[in-house]
Amino acid sequence: MFTRVSWRAFGAKSAVRQEPGYFGDQELSLLFVAKRLKEALALEKLLTDAGFAYLVEPDKYLGGVIFRTERVGAFFYIDPASEPAAREALERAGYHPYQET
């Protein structure tokens, strides 16, 4: 009889989330800025399930409409070669990938 086992127990979650050194000197593309922990965790699951290698780092951004404040979010970066497919996966899941202004 088989039992259902979480892939996290085998380290699958960390299999595609990479450290900065993994990408070397390569310039990465900013894919998404998660403003809430719940959103960041959902995006990590989405990218992991899709098999994309990505980097996530905390960084500061400006938020608010009337009262602009500096906040911290999770910035998701991806290899430029994987960017079109990753953007499409995010859009299918209802996310709006980062667009440079």
User: What's 80's domain CATH number?
Assistant: 3.30.70.2750
5 pLDDT tier (thresholds 50, 70, 90): very low
Please check whether residue 5 lies inside any domain of the structure.
no
Question: Of residues 11 and 77, which shows the higher confidence score?
Answer: 77
Please check whether residue 23 lies inside any domain of the structure.
no
Over 60: is that where the pLDDT of 7 sits? no
Over 80: is that where the pLDDT of 90 sits? yes
Q: What range defines the domain where residue 93 resides?
A: 28-101
Question: Of residues 66 and 6, which shows the higher confidence score?
Answer: 66
Torsion on CA atoms 23, 31, 85, 36, rounded to nearest 10: 110
- Residues 34-55 have pLDDT tens digits of 999 999 999 999 999 999 999 9
Please check whether residue 14 lies inside any domain of the structure.
no
51 near 63, Cβ under 8 Å?
no
Say how many domains are in the chain: 1
